Amino acid sequence: MPRILLPQFTLPATRLSRRSLIAGALGLTANLAFGGAAWSAQPPGFARWVETFRARAINRGISEQTYNRVMATLTPDTAVFTLQRSQPEFTEQTWQYINRRCSEWRVNTGKARAREYASLLARVEKDYGVDRYTLLGLWGMESSFGDVVTNSKYMRPVIPALAALAWGEPRRRKYWEAELLNALTIVERGWGQSSDMIGSWAGAMGHTQWMPEVWLRMGVDYDRDGRISPFGKPDDSLAGTARYLVERGKWRRGEAWGCEVKLSARHARLADNRSMRPYAKWAELGVKRADGVEFARPGDHVKLWLPVAGGPAFLVGQNFRAVYSYNPSINYSLALVHLGDLVRGDAPFHQQFPGGERTPTMKEVMEIQRRLNELGFKTDGIDGRTGTDTVRAILAFQKKVGMEPADGYAGLKVLARLRAGS
């Protein structure tokens, strides 16, 4: 997969990354003629395409036996063509995005995983130089620390999905064909059976959501069991992800991703998200860490970034860019490194985002869920986690009672309205 090199974190990707294609696929359905129905049998023309595609697979090194076993009777998952209709009805603000993904449940679970896998994380950190808490943040962001890896509510067999995209999606057909060939190569190598390859509808799999190409090119047999797998034990997944950050993200051993800084109004003009200076030079210019601690490595080069006017400011360096290469979204990257810091035991951001709220506690989220269920808005459990069902229930409640904006966010305003009565 090509690595994205961006001069500024705020610019859109100009090349295709591991995750930009996944996100971009949400828009692929608008001009397709399948009408939103998933086929229960092979649709017309698909069997002929399978036979035509056979030569590509054989040329790639896929055996006839493997191809026949996987593809001969495969039914394409044409539900992928309707997923555009499942996109959220709202857009999260930066502070909402971060609060949801840095929830108390996720921080507590991350701390538990840090203890449980301390020796593994220490070995990966030693071998690749990637900070263990950044890896924990990424693991938490991608699969809630493995919690949704094989959850049928969120995951599906990826080969039927990739086959449907390779056959029926014209705009990025070459990409989907390549990923289908990569998935077949994984089966050919014996690293996994097609029935075991469960993931997102666009093909991302396992603890850290690898596309097949990443599995093949960046994967590491870290547990030395003779195969590479992003499923099961997290060993291969964490090591392969660290390798990705180093080789494609250009992670620098020993450097921090950056830090929150205290920014006065007169310094805001320096936050151009472009000018790279050593921490020491920023200190001379009057930019200090928000927690008052001295910069640990004053010679490292960073730039000043203000994601939202009036919100927290950050000095960010190459390792923030490395995280960004994994999923080119500034919200994702900031939430990931912040989650890692919270798991480490660091404090929340010192400066609040404008219009933002503090992150609700697990107890408060559970109260929101309980009250919603009592009113008939089903959240699929009372567990203190803001999953899809909870978001939908909140959105329905907000619309019913006329709350503006109706954003589906499990926050303190929703809790107050629930307590006050609808």
Q: Where do the domains of the chain lie, and which CATH numbers do they carry? A: 20-87+153-205 (1.10.8.350), 258-339 (no CATH), 362-420 (1.10.101)
For CA atoms 27, 28, 33, 36, give the dihedral sign: negative
In the predicted structure, residue 32 carries a pLDDT above the cut 70? no
* Amino acid at site 136: L
pLDDT of residue 366: 98
Q: Any alpha helices (H) in 172-290, and if so which ranges?
A: 173-189, 212-218, 235-247, 279-284
In the predicted structure, residue 374 carries a pLDDT above the cut 90? yes
Average pLDDT over residues 76-81: 91
Which one-letter DSSP state was computed for residue 71? Answer: H
pLDDT of residue 25: 37
Closest CA to 222 of 211, 238, 209: 238
Report d(CA 222, CA 216) in Å as an integer: 14
Closest CA to 410 of 101, 86, 51: 101
For the chain, what's the residue count? 422
Predicted TM-score (pTM) above 0.75: yes
Which one-letter DSSP state was computed for residue 224? Answer: -
pLDDT in tens, 297-313: 999 999 999 999 999 99
Report d(CA 160, CA 80) in Å as an integer: 10
pLDDT classification of 40: cutoffs 50, 70, 90: low
Greatest alpha-carbon pair distance for the chain in Å reads 69
Average pLDDT over residues 116-139: 98
Report yes or no: 180 and 166 within 8 Å, Cβ to Cβ.
Answer: yes
In the predicted structure, residue 13 carries a pLDDT above the cut 70? no
Provide the pairing of β-strand 313-316 with 198-199.
unpaired
Closest CA to 158 of 192, 124, 125, 116: 192
